[in-house]
Amino acid sequence: MGKLFAALLPEHEEFIAKQRVYFVGSAPLSENGHVNISPKGYDSLRVLSANRVAYLDLTGSGNETSAHIEENGRVTVMFCAFDGPPNIIRLYGKGTVVLPESAEWEGLYSLFSSLPGVRQIIVVDFDQVQTSCGYSVPFMSYDRERETLQRWSVQKGEEGLKQYWQEKNTRSLDGLPTPLGKVLRESGE
């Protein structure tokens, strides 16, 4: 049965550190808006404190989480055990988008190994941790990371990524503006 906690316990942090994939969920305020669930991989998440995590947000075909955070802040991060004992951990909180132009960027970015295609860092301050059984989650084994996104980002180069962001990452599916889009518009890129 699920349990609620006000903050991460050491055993929660240990579990999170072992996960190769996690999921980020967000939604706009509009009842007709699209709920977004985004899988994340690589070594892209850091536990900053018992109530704060941050992850590197890599270039993707959309930028939904960023737009939803800008509109209402709500975000959930979920971790599932695909091997070992069954377990699910959800972090319910409010997100902040940190762009390279932000004062917080260097301090946060220095916590990660460099990955090509990073467009922003998402920081999640959460006030509720929920554990649940995960009994129905299948066993799956980890083979290796996909290198496709990294190769694509390197091939695009800095200017190509900026152009891609302008074309694909300035608004959500529902037309909500993203912080990245705002910066690109202000800089004239």
- pLDDT one-digit tens code per residue, 43-87: 999 999 999 999 999 999 999 999 999 999 999 999 999 999 999
| Phi and psi, residue 70, nearest 5° | -60, -40
Give domain limits for the chain. 3-137+145-187
The structure's pTM equals 0.96
Q: How are the residues of the chain apportioned to helix, strand and coil, as percentages rounded to the nearest 5?
A: 30, 30, 40
Check residue 186 and give its pLDDT.
Answer: 85
| Phi and psi, residue 94, nearest 5° | -120, 140
Whether residue 189 has pLDDT greater than 70:
no
- Fold classification of 3-137+145-187 is Pnp Oxidase; Chain A (2.30.110)
Give percent above pLDDT 90 in the chain: 95
